[in-house]
Structure 1
Amino acid sequence: MRVYLAGPEVFLADRGAAVGAEKRRICAAHGLTGVVPVEEGGLPGAKGADDPAWFGLYRGNEDLIRGCDALIANLTPFRGPSADPGTVFELGFMRGLGRPVLGYANTAGRFGGRTLAALGPAAKRRPDGVWEDAEGMAVEDFDLHDNLMLEGGIRASGGLFTAEAVLPERRWSDLSAFARCVAAAAAMLQAGGGAGRGQPGSESSA
């Protein structure tokens, strides 16, 4: 049973490979095969002769996702109050395939609070108490760890979302929350026999 490991660790110049290897080791300990995004150049046959390199990476990763039974996404805030947009796309793509998606974040802060902190003095309250930005756009605040569509998709698929506060220097290397997602994914897939490329298991708390 194959699990796609989505996350911005691919941008770690010096530690990305080591983090990916440790993630695969944790997956293997639970009877799963961890699949990391493709590296520069994509997969053989993943791009056409006239395709630019970046499109080859996209097609290669999409092919990998289609070949997996579930997805675990690192939704730790990345360069802003929300998760890495590429990871978000991959989570949504797997959810669209009807397979289990799980997620974790190495921060205990809530999405609304992080957004307000990023806005700073530009944020102001409306008469009804809702916060908005300088353009009059409301700040989403459902006391969730990220956008409702992310946690909603995880919950609807029967998956698990877990968050843990870690030291700043370990934000991209601490895999405690990831390991909980792996254990949950293994239980879900093994209960379903891994049939049909990811039949959802019983719903977990998000």
Structure 2
Amino acid sequence: MRVYLAGPDVFMPDPLDRAAALKAVCRRHGLTGVSPLDALADEPSDWAALAEARRIALRNEAHIRSCVALIANLTPFRGPSADAGTVFEVGFMRALGRPVFGWSNDPRLFADRTQAFLNGFARCTEAGWRDGEDMLLEDFALRDNLMIDGAVLASGGALFVADPPAQGRWSDLSAFEACVAALATALGQRG
């Protein structure tokens, strides 16, 4: 069973090695991991004339459509929340009505990460925490924005979190391994 591996892993210094490591974990659990970096079989020839960014977006959507489920690396990326592209892919798979599972190497709740990101520029009011522009900080005791957590849970998926040392933030795969194992079990139960 093919599963799409969403996440900011494509931005790592060694994205192909990372994809190979993620795919190896999937294989151990009887799944076939599909990376956004994988070539697309039968890519339409007219895509060659498109800008690279457009080709990547179309290729990723085609990969997602070809998979039975999605596993998202939701480790905060360049801010307090998950990578924006990954979040789109979570929503895309959710709209297809297929399972979405997520994992993160940051155990803090979204509200706590947002306050830390604002670095003292948040204040507590009667209505809740507000940023420097008087905008309310989301605080539902969730791992990320309510729509991300909501999409994962509504799809029948689950979220897995690890708390590795700082140097393991992008290399520790324990939460990913737990996520893959749970998805493999869930797919087996559905099949």
Pairwise TM-score range, normalised by the shorter structure: over 0.9
Normalized against structure 1, the TM-score is what? Answer: 0.87
Unaligned runs of 5+ in 2: none
Determine which structure has the larger helix proportion and give its number. Answer: 2
Name the counterpart of 1:181. Answer: 179
Q: Is the contact made by 2:6 and 2:89 (CA closer than 8 Å) also made in structure 1?
A: yes
1:35 alignment counterpart: 34
1:4 matched to which residue of 2? 4
Asked if structure 2 preserves the Cα contact closer than 8 Å seen for 1:47 and 1:59, the reply is no
> Which residue does 1:16 correspond to in 2?
15
Q: Secondary structure at the match of 1:150?
A: helix
- 1:15-55 deviation digits (Å, cap 9, x = unpaired): 3222211111111111110000026x876327524310110
1:200 maps to which residue? none
Moved over 3 A (4+): 41-44
Partner SS state of residue 57, structure 2: helix
Where does 1:120-159 land on structure 2 (aligned, <5 Å)? Answer: 120-128=119-127, 130-159=128-157
Counterpart amino acid of residue 173 in structure 2: L
Offset, 1:6: 0.5
CA shift at 1:83, angstroms?
Answer: 0.5
Cα distance in structure 2, aligned partners of 1:178 and 1:127? 39
CA distance in 1, matches of 2:48, 2:118: 44
Match of 1:97 in 2: 96
CA contact under 8 A between 2:100 and 2:155: conserved in structure 1? yes
Structure 1: distance between partners of 2:45 and 2:88:
19
Contact persistence 1:4–1:72 (CA under 8 A): yes
User: Is the contact between residue 42 and residue 56 of structure 1 (CA under 8 Å) also seen in structure 2?
Assistant: no
Q: TM-score, normalised by structure 2?
A: 0.94
Task: Tell me the secondary structure at the aligned position of residue 48 of structure 1.
Answer: helix
Contact 2:9 2:15 in 1 (8 A): yes
Q: Contact conserved, 1:124 with 1:132, CA < 8 A, in 2?
A: yes
Counterpart CA distance in 2 for 1:192 and 1:42 is 27
Say how many residue pairs are matched.
Answer: 190
Q: Distance in 2 between matches of 1:86 and 1:49?
A: 22
Structure 2 CA distance for aligned equivalents of residues 150 and 185 of structure 1: 17
Structure-1 separation of matches of 2:49 and 2:61: 18
2:113 counterpart letter in structure 1? R
**Is 2:121–2:131's contact at 8 Å kept on the other side of the alignment?**
yes
Alignment root-mean-square deviation, CA: 1.6
Give % identity: 49
Matched to 1:157, the amino acid is: S
State how far apart, in whole Å, the 2-side matches of 1:138 and 1:46 are: 47
Counterpart residue type for residue 184 of structure 1: A
| Structure 1 gaps, min length 5 | 194-206
